[in-house]
Structure 1
């Protein structure tokens, strides 16, 4: 359906792709992954409108191929006075009305031939998108996403997450040959995320989905496209199998690297000896021997395997604090309430201690962000902040923390850094190197903007962090680096997140929004609740065993015990078959 052959493309300030090739074929559900700023969204733009871009190489798209698209930045049109059913069925209803109108016109018109032609075209278009069954198909999609209750609601009344799912349904029902979705999971709560999983898995056409969500990656796709360092890698199979393949390659490369390193060391020793001899023995044969050894060394260096997909460099996120506090209460919320058009939260009471790491969990539109923002602003009668607390805030609305008109350098000078060299040195830990630091923040991807927010939070050295969807738009490597930083952080964290893995891997307990108030739940109970709702009975145990074996492999590789690592890899392969 789509073939990309040796495609290269660059912006004036950045080269994105260098001779990349891949295909998209019938029945493939493809996850498109890669670190932030690697050019995933730009490649999608090229696929959708190749005439706009001056690229090198070949892009072959079947001329009959229709493309559907769901943007990561879709905005709800509050002015549209239409129901959910009418919104999803807009194309069907429009064609249906057109057919009815033509039939009415045929009753009185003398130009029957022209009208018959128009009627047939409209009928063919209606049939091509399954028009006869459109009401039934809409109902099936709504039921699949557990959103039948929204059918007669106005679109303007939907939460952002609900609207995203409605958009996905609308595109799917038009039956495009290729459907492209750019981070459709961002900000979806877990129930809506599960609904998205069901919609993806039920879709019959080709899918290309940019996502960093580990839940979707592990449960939805049969092909992986991985874009990194201007190169692309295709893998036919599940994400979990792709990671297993990378791990096997990593072990082979590390073993080979050590063997090569030892050979290079021996060769360098011989070269040093030959050079030493050459200083007092000027025989031509000695010079030739030295020259041959140097060339051999150059060949050894040249054949070192470069594997850009095996070991992606994680950012070095460090969450240090200036003022470490003893075990004391840092945030107290007493009888907190919040309402907009309706009451969202009422009689909310909880306290956070100085080393607590806590996730606030609740459906979209239940007041989580408002609560976190009120704690940050500290101007609400129901909220009390300890006098020794310094708070840092990461917002899901990135413009609340970052100034789009600033360059990256300017943003961090404003944040208190003394010199541009200080900023450059600091930001290199977060993957911002070279000319990118002179770019306007407005030009960055969503993932890059969230990385900048994390860098600002870390630079503050605050002892209480308020994080609103910190993993949104972040690639999986950065998510793992953030989890590690959170684990090592010595202060308190209050985090809103719909990313299940970030919550269970980094938080001490959760605050669940339930019936307009908040109750505390242990991590063990929360994990069991999620797994009971969405997985087979033995899935939790299999996943925990898998994680345990992966940690043993990591330790074996640190000790360069490759034989043990290979034995453990066989054990891991058997566990992966259960997932």
Structure 2
């Protein structure tokens, strides 16, 4: 359907893509992943024709249509109702409807056979295009995305950016393009809407490319993962969990290849150094010097899974009770959020507040923070100090500060070394710490704001959608930081993997009350199913992450036994030793070629599509690597023997 061949794209002198290739087939469900700044959104824009590549080719089949949901659509506004905006997807049907209405109006004053024929043709085409059902389809999708029946007639401009994005998603889904491209679609969706989109995309007839930091969403939706790394597009034939396992395996192979090559380089350099002064070894020495020059260097594996090694401390220990609400009520006109609600929170509680948008989750955080007035009693516990993180607070960062200055403002007691350590945990290293806040991306600002929250020495955190605009590596860092945090917190998030990783209790709003489930998010979901409030989740296809490793013991290469050094006059022994060295050198060359070929095959993403092929390649690679090591060791022993005999 779409073939990307030798794609290149540069930002200044930095290559976002260089010789990248990918074949997108019909019905593929692709998760496009990679660190922020690697070019995921740029690739989508190139596929959409908004950006032209610097090199290579993107070819599309003649019948390929593309629908692209991106964050720019947040700014779209219209006086039309959201139902009318969504129905703009049916361009031809809308044209026919206007034509039919015009003909009918004309026939009221001028009834002619010509108009009757024209009306019949228009109505036949309209019916063939399912024109009489388009409104029902649009209403079903909008309501699936969280809109009420009343909302459908309201002007688009009355809705926030996140809700406008849902309307644009509905319009896109109604268009049913051959390739549906979704850039962070879950950022502005609540959990029920995310689950609805999951099911829709799973059953979508066309191909899909999703850029998302939501691991659970990717696991449930995609059947192929494409990683943007090293200016290449690396394909993995499975969902995100499959990718994690396969990525680890590929890294192990590359790490082994790197270590083996480094060992070979050291051995070759020792040979050159040892024999460079011997005229009889000049040919072998020169051969090895040239071999080093021609060698394709294997890159060292870089660990992209940053670890947090910082103890986030606070100076004041709170009492047992952190927060309480008694007989609390809150309403906005006729919209009731709380009605005589009671809830309490104790020291050490790690709470995730979940539920559909519009139920009052953010309002609840503001009530806890004391910035939202209520009827009833709000009480903070003894020695409780809190800090509040929300997306709008990114605007409170001082754009004139650099990163060190901004963190110093949050905690003046920390030294620059300690602040650098914290920034390192949040992926800012080297001279990055002197960047001005004003030049940071949205995701980078989020990381700075989160670092400030954790440096504040507060023993109680309120976090509203902290994973928005963070890539997976940054989400992983935040998870580690919160797992190490010894205080209490309440988190509002729609990221199920994140919630499962950091919460030991679940709060949810039901019947205008705050209710508590004393367990993890996974346990809460099971409990919901048992209550019959949630339909059973269909079993996910579990893709085996890696083929079983078959232990095989390759026949060892015989190492010549050490023997006492023969006398110099023993010419026969010297000739035998020299012959053995030549045989071993020939075998080493053969094995090195064989090993390089196997590494090339293992580096090819297509090798991972067939598990039986991958298993055979792994076995051959392990056998060849062992045989090469044994042969090299035998060669070294033989070389020493030749040196002693010739000595």
Which residue number in structure 1 is paired with residue 506 of structure 2?
Answer: 510
Which residue number in structure 1 is paired with residue 39 of structure 2?
Answer: 39
Q: Per-residue CA shift, 1:263-299, capped at 9, x if unaligned? A: 667667x46xx86x79xx9655688877777777777
Q: Output the CA distance in 1 between the equivalents of 2:5 and 2:323.
A: 56
SS of 2:387 mapped into structure 1: strand
Which residue number in structure 1 is paired with residue 343 of structure 2?
Answer: 350
Q: Output the CA distance in 1 between the equivalents of 2:401 and 2:197.
A: 36
Q: Is the 8 A contact 1:331 1:384 kept in 2?
A: yes
- Does residue 3 in structure 1 map to residue 39 in structure 2? no
- Does residue 368 in structure 1 map to residue 361 in structure 2? yes
Q: Output the CA distance in 2 between the equivalents of 1:217 and 1:285.
A: 63
Q: Output the CA distance in 2 between the equivalents of 1:285 and 1:352.
A: 83
- Does residue 314 in structure 1 map to residue 306 in structure 2? yes
Q: Per-residue CA shift, 1:379-429, capped at 9, x if unaligned? A: 868433346344333213353443567665664465457998886665343
Q: Output the CA distance in 1 between the equivalents of 2:341 and 2:72.
A: 32
Q: Output the CA distance in 1 between the equivalents of 2:400 and 2:55.
A: 32
1:69: how far off? 2.5
1:320: how far off? 0.6
- Which of 348, 370, 393 matches 2:388? 393
Q: Output the CA distance in 2 between the equivalents of 1:202 and 1:460.
A: 46
Q: Per-residue CA shift, 1:487-546, capped at 9, x if unaligned? A: 22211121111222222222111111111220111215414135663555877xx99x99
- Does residue 87 in structure 1 map to residue 85 in structure 2? yes
TM-score normalised per structure 2: 0.68
SS of 1:451 mapped into structure 2: helix
Q: Output the CA distance in 1 between the equivalents of 2:14 and 2:432.
A: 8
- Sort the Cα spacing of 1:421 and 1:247 in 2 relative to 1 into closer, same or farther, 3 A: closer
1:34: how far off? 1.3
Most deviating of 175-184 and 238-247: 238-247
Q: Output the CA distance in 2 between the equivalents of 1:123 and 1:13.
A: 57
Which residue number in structure 2 is paired with residue 71 of structure 1?
Answer: 70
- Does residue 522 in structure 1 map to residue 500 in structure 2? no
- Does residue 451 in structure 1 map to residue 447 in structure 2? yes
1:232: how far off? 1.9
SS of 1:185 mapped into structure 2: helix
- Does residue 210 in structure 1 map to residue 211 in structure 2? yes
Most deviating of 178-187 and 419-428: 419-428
SS of 2:455 mapped into structure 1: helix
Most deviating of 41-50 and 147-156: 147-156
Q: Output the CA distance in 2 between the equivalents of 1:91 and 1:218.
A: 29
1:334: how far off? 3.3
Q: Is the 8 A contact 1:160 1:364 kept in 2?
A: no
Which residue number in structure 1 is paired with residue 190 of structure 2?
Answer: 189
Q: Is the 8 A contact 1:34 1:226 kept in 2?
A: yes
Q: Output the CA distance in 2 between the equivalents of 1:361 and 1:95.
A: 43
Q: Is the 8 A contact 1:187 1:498 kept in 2?
A: no
Q: Is the 8 A contact 1:71 1:181 kept in 2?
A: yes
Which residue number in structure 2 is paired with residue 304 of structure 1?
Answer: 298
Q: Map 1:132-171; keep pairs closer than 5 Å.
A: 132-139=132-139, 141=141, 149=149, 152=152, 154=154, 164-171=165-172
- Does residue 485 in structure 1 map to residue 481 in structure 2? yes
- Does residue 332 in structure 1 map to residue 324 in structure 2? yes
1:187: how far off? 4.0
1:200: how far off? 1.3
Q: Per-residue CA shift, 1:87-126, capped at 9, x if unaligned? A: 32245474244313553587689xx99xx999999998x7
- Sort the Cα spacing of 1:336 and 1:262 in 2 relative to 1 into closer, same or farther, 3 A: farther
1:15: how far off? 4.3
Q: Output the CA distance in 2 between the equivalents of 1:478 and 1:454.
A: 10
The number of equivalent residue pairs is 537
Q: Is the 8 A contact 2:88 2:94 kept in 1?
A: yes
1:231: how far off? 2.5
RMSD: 4.7
Which residue number in structure 1 is paired with residue 229 of structure 2?
Answer: 228
Q: Output the CA distance in 2 between the equivalents of 1:171 and 1:136.
A: 16
Most deviating of 413-422 and 164-173: 413-422
Q: Is the 8 A contact 2:3 2:58 kept in 1?
A: yes
Q: Output the CA distance in 2 between the equivalents of 1:489 and 1:360.
A: 18
Q: Output the CA distance in 2 between the equivalents of 1:39 and 1:526.
A: 37
Q: Output the CA distance in 2 between the equivalents of 1:414 and 1:461.
A: 13
Q: Is the 8 A contact 2:348 2:488 kept in 1?
A: yes
- Does residue 58 in structure 1 map to residue 65 in structure 2? no
Which residue number in structure 1 is paired with residue 604 of structure 2?
Answer: none
Q: Output the CA distance in 2 between the equivalents of 1:448 and 1:127.
A: 51
Structure number with greater CO (CA < 8 Å, separation at least 6) is 1
Q: Output the CA distance in 2 between the equivalents of 1:259 and 1:13.
A: 32
Q: Output the CA distance in 2 between the equivalents of 1:127 and 1:106.
A: 21
1:183: how far off? 0.8
1:32: how far off? 1.6
Q: Is the 8 A contact 1:326 1:354 kept in 2?
A: yes
Q: Per-residue CA shift, 1:296-349, capped at 9, x if unaligned? A: 77778x5435567xx523263746113262662233333343333422223343
Which residue number in structure 2 is paired with residue 469 of structure 1?
Answer: 465
Q: Is the 8 A contact 1:393 1:466 kept in 2?
A: yes
Which residue number in structure 1 is paired with residue 177 of structure 2?
Answer: 176
Q: Output the CA distance in 2 between the equivalents of 1:449 and 1:391.
A: 21
Q: Is the 8 A contact 2:310 2:422 kept in 1?
A: no
TM-score normalised per structure 1: 0.75
1:191: how far off? 1.2
Q: Output the CA distance in 2 between the equivalents of 1:210 and 1:106.
A: 50
Q: Per-residue CA shift, 1:207-246, capped at 9, x if unaligned? A: 2221121222111123322212432213344334333332
Q: Output the CA distance in 2 between the equivalents of 1:150 and 1:287.
A: 89
SS of 2:186 mapped into structure 1: coil
Q: Output the CA distance in 2 between the equivalents of 1:306 and 1:78.
A: 49
Q: Is the 8 A contact 2:78 2:155 kept in 1?
A: no
Q: Is the 8 A contact 1:2 1:24 kept in 2?
A: yes
Q: Output the CA distance in 2 between the equivalents of 1:471 and 1:329.
A: 28
